[in-house]
Amino acid sequence: MRRNFLKGTAALGALAVLGGRWPAQAADAITMWHIFGAETEPGLKNIKRWNETQAQQIDQKFVPFGQLSQQLIKGIATGDVPDLITIDNPVVASFATQDALEDLSDLVRASRVIKADQYYAGSWGTTVWNGKQYAVPGEANTLALYYNADMFKAKGLDPDKPPRTWAELRHAAEVLTDKEKKVFGTAFCAIQSEEGTFQFLPFLQQSGANLKTLTSPDAVAALQLWTDFVTNGLASRDVLVKRQFEMTSSWLAGGSAMVISGPWELQRMKDVKFNWRVATLPRREGRDIEASALGGYVWGVPKGARNKEAAFKVIEFMSEPAQMQQAWSGGRLAPVKTLQVESPAMPEAYATFKKQMEVAKPRGPHPRWPEISAAMQTAIQEALTGRSPPDAALQKASRVINPILERTPMVGL
C-alpha cells in the first residue's frame, strides 16, 4: 500500500514540476504584484479590462498587504522583481533612495495621460524624491469623522452640526459616552504600526506643530487630546491594539458613537441600520489649520524590471479616467482632483471625502520614514498607556526624529 502511495506521489510530484513550469510565452507578459484581494476590488476589474483589449497580457499575482514589503525585498534580493507593483505611499522614498525603483521621470514627462497638475499635491508629492519621479499615484484615501446621527439625537446633540473643533469633539464625546449601554463617545486607532501614525498626524498638524517641533506646547496639546480620550474613558483602551477597520467594526456594532476612519469603510455601510454621517475632521480652536491624512498605494516599477515601458503603459491605462472612475465603487478615491465620478453611490460621503482630500498631507516623503513613524508610534503608545506624560513621550520621540531630519530634510518641513 505504501509503495503504491509512493508511486502515486512521485507521479504527482513529476506532474507538478512539469505542469507548474511556466510556458515560454509568459516571458512576454507584464508581471504585476498587487494587493487587490477581494474580487470586488476595482483594481482587479481594471486588470481584466486591460487583458481583454491588449495583446500583451498582465500576469498578476495577489500579495497579501502585510507581505508586500517582504515579498518585494525578497524579489530585489533574488533579482526576481515584477514589472509593476503597488507600493504603500510612505515607503516610496525609502525604496527610491536604496535604488530599488526605476526612475520614471522621462516617461512621465512625455506622457499624455499623466499630468502632475491634475493630481492632489499631497498624492503627487509622495512619488517624487530628489527631483525625480519614482512612482505614479494609484489611489488615494484620507481620514474623516464618521458619526452615528441617531445617537446624536438621542443625547440631545444636533446631527446636522457635527463637532467642528477639538473642544466640540471633546464635548460631544463626553455627552455620547454611555457606560451603562457600553458606548464610547469616540474611537480612533493608536496601534503600534503605521496606522497609528497615520491617524495621529492630522491632529499633530492641526495643532500648529509638525515633526520638527514635537516638543512644542502645540504638539503636546494634540497628544494630550488623545490621551484624555483614553484616560477619561471616552474612547476604548483597545485603540492601542485594534486596527482602523476594527475600530470601525465596533462603531458599526454600536460600540462607539463616532469613529475616525477612511473611505474604504464605505463598502461596509450598505447594511448599516442606523443613520450615519461623515464630516471633515474637526480643527483645533484658535488655529485654522485643516489637515488630514493621506493614504493609498502608488504604482512603482522595480529596478531591473524586464518590461519597463510596457509596465508604464499599464500605469497610464490605470490612470485614465475610465479606470479611475472605478475606484469609488471600492471605497477609494482617485488621486486626481479633476476627476468627477458620475453619480457616485453615497454622494454626501463622496463630497466630504473629496473636500478632505484637498487638505490631505503626505507622510514624508522621507527615506527614513519607517524610523520616524516608529518613534511616533512609541510616543503615542507611551502617552496613551500612561507610561509617560505626553510631553516626555514627545521629547523622547524628537530625540530620535530630529537627528534624522537634520541629516536629510523632509520636503515641506
Q: Which is nearer to another protein, 102 or 218 (CB)?
A: 102
Binding-site size, another protein (CB under 8 A): 80
376 interacts with another protein by CB under 8 A: no
How would DSSP label each residue in 153-203?
A: HHTT--TTS---BHHHHHHHHHHH-BTTTTBBS------SSHHHHHHHHHH
Nearest Cα to 298, choosing from 131, 412, 132, 128?
A: 128
254 interacts with another protein by CB under 8 A: yes
Smallest separation, CB 169 to another protein (Å):
21
Please, what is the Cα angle at 45 between 40 and 47, to 5 degrees? 135
Asked if residues 177 and 184 have their Cβ atoms less than 8 Å apart, the reply is yes
* Residue from the set 80, 285, 309, 320 that interacts with another protein by CB under 8 A: 80
Distance CA 205, CA 295 (A): 16
* Residue from the set 134, 297, 299, 350 that interacts with another protein by CB under 8 A: 297
* Residue from the set 49, 154, 168, 255 that interacts with another protein by CB under 8 A: 255
* Residue from the set 11, 27, 70, 161 that interacts with another protein by CB under 8 A: 70
Smallest separation, CB 135 to another protein (Å):
15
Q: Which is nearer to another protein, 134 or 166 (CB)?
A: 134
* Residue with the three cell numbers 504604482: 299
236 interacts with another protein by CB under 8 A: yes
Q: Which three cell numbers stand for residue 229?
A: 480620550
Q: Which helix (H) or strand (E) covers residue 65, if one does?
A: none
Asked if residues 33 and 72 have their Cβ atoms less than 8 Å apart, the reply is yes
Contact segment (CB under 8 A) with another protein among 109-117, 170-178, 190-198, 208-216 equals 190-198
Q: Which is nearer to another protein, 108 or 375 (CB)?
A: 375
Q: What is the CA 141 to chain-centroid distance, rounded?
A: 6
29 interacts with another protein by CB under 8 A: no
395 interacts with another protein by CB under 8 A: no
- Which residues within the stretch 98-157 sit at the binding site for another protein (CB under 8 A)? 98-100, 141
Smallest separation, CB 250 to another protein (Å):
5
238 interacts with another protein by CB under 8 A: yes
Nearest Cα to 204, choosing from 284, 262, 147?
A: 284
326 interacts with another protein by CB under 8 A: no
* Residue with the three cell numbers 523622547: 396
